[in-house]
Structure 1
């Protein structure tokens, strides 16, 4: 059970006004809407930054961030407050659907061409993006003759560094079928015992980029699919609505959108039709 922090036991002063200030900064820089239940989590994450900077009050830290002049600290702030929960082949029905869709797509390659662009939006430490790439390789026999790219983005530069390294504790693959593990991962030896690394034929398919879904996007080619799963649960409805309409600018007219199991488009965007549980098609 989570033990709540008694305000009297806090190392740093953290007033009601400080929490509202932090909440506003989080909303502005990440698009995430923090509820009251996140107060202790936020305090715990910011306390490490205050110790590092030699500050004694959260209000001092807020004042520093509000100037907008310390870009490095703003990045550390974003990294500290964003939550990163992911896993290989999480919500497996999405990957079963992806596999069936790819089989159909191969039949229609003459119409669509051998080109695929898929975006893992809010990719965290890379498991989702690599799972997509693995599914592509498992399903398309002549994939090396296709023009395929998986774009993977996150606001948190620290998790992207982990994603690019493509090394994970062996527990991360415990729920994956052994043939799949043997095909797509290499076990570490010696000092790397207890770790696995994704094989190069998968890692080279993924392009990791650091940017905010609610900020300025780089140029994104027309996409066939977007995976934006368990991201908008932290957003206000209006923020989610704006993001969905921005997807319209990059997703092909019949493109697919995969969202998280606790998310919905209901009341937010009527330009998608439901194909399966949390799987939508534009148009």
Structure 2
């Protein structure tokens, strides 16, 4: 866990006008808890956002002030509400084949070079480290099936993880509305998507696609139970919410679990740089560790 951060707004001044009393001290408690639980830095300028997103929780819980809410979420037995708080304060922006060049690079840099060895029995592991509602790992799976149509019979798996249990449930369900699947190429849609029999306006990834992806809850600053190494990790637009020290800690944990020559794909505003870093930039927000995938 990250060490709790002390914020300056620790007084009783009312920060936001609204139905619930929300002071600088309340903001400090929420910001420190979010940092300690998830490593996410909450700038003081986000007070209005914090109020608007958490006011719904206060109404649901029947609370009158943010002080009462802080007392609740800080209690050791309130894990579920802390998770609900983190879900409310984090942004889950995703879509199928978001930043499509990353999937082209995954295909050309990782999947095609490894395809002969994988067909011969080599293990292949990919990780979507902040999978949100699942569009990223399923885009990885569709890209994988383009290269290895028989992937389901090979030693191939994609790990998808997220801190938000609601997103984990959505990713496991793998069911999406018409507008969300528009970014999937038509040939892939016709082959790998099927209408939900109970809701004809929804589409579900075919069982063969879903079987490639294992979705699990995981906190990037918590324990990582994985034991094997990966050939590619997608961790995009996540560490921008972390401070420099937390970012470095995450990058350092990725390095030893990547195979030689493996790739790490990050967001456009993110850089994998720290003293002694083994990562080498491939450009276009792709980074690799030394060596050759084999």
Aligned to 2:83: 75
In the alignment, does 2:154 pair up with 1:146? yes
Q: 1:195-210 residue pairs with structure 2 within 5 A?
A: 195-210=202-217
Residue of structure 2 equivalent to 1:106: 115
What is the CA distance between 1:267 and its match in structure 2? Answer: 4.0
What residue ranges of structure 1 are gaps of 5+ in the alignment? 1-5
1:158 aligns with 2:166: yes
Partner in structure 2 of residue 233 of structure 1 = 240
Secondary structure of residue in 1 paired with 2:237:
coil
| 1:147–1:108 CA distance, 2 compared to 1 (3 A) | closer
Shift of 1:270: 2.3
Greater displacement, 120-129 / 175-184: 175-184
**In 1: Cα distance, 2:181 partner to 2:67 partner:** 42
Query: 1:160-206 CA distances to partner (integer Å, 9 max, x unpaired)?
Result: 111111111110122332112111211346x5132111111000111
Greater shift, 71-80 or 118-127, is seen at 71-80
Corresponding residue pairs, total: 275
Q: Corresponding residue for 2:256?
A: 249
Q: TM-score, normalised by structure 2?
A: 0.88
RMSD of aligned C-alpha atoms? Answer: 1.9
Deviations 1:93-151 (A, max 9, x none): 000111112112225559x9532111100110010001101111111244244200100
Residue in 2 that maps onto 1:266: 273
Q: Which moved more, 1:233-242 or 1:177-186?
A: 177-186
- Report the TM-score when normalising by structure 1: 0.91
Query: Aligned pair in 2 of structure 1 residues 13, 269: CA closer, same or farther (>3 Å)?
Result: farther
Q: Quote the Cα distance in structure 2 between the aligned partners of 1:68 and 1:160.
A: 23
| Aligned partners of 1:185 and 1:196 also within 8 Å | yes
CA distance in 1, matches of 2:235, 2:275: 15
DSSP-derived class of the 1:41 partner: helix
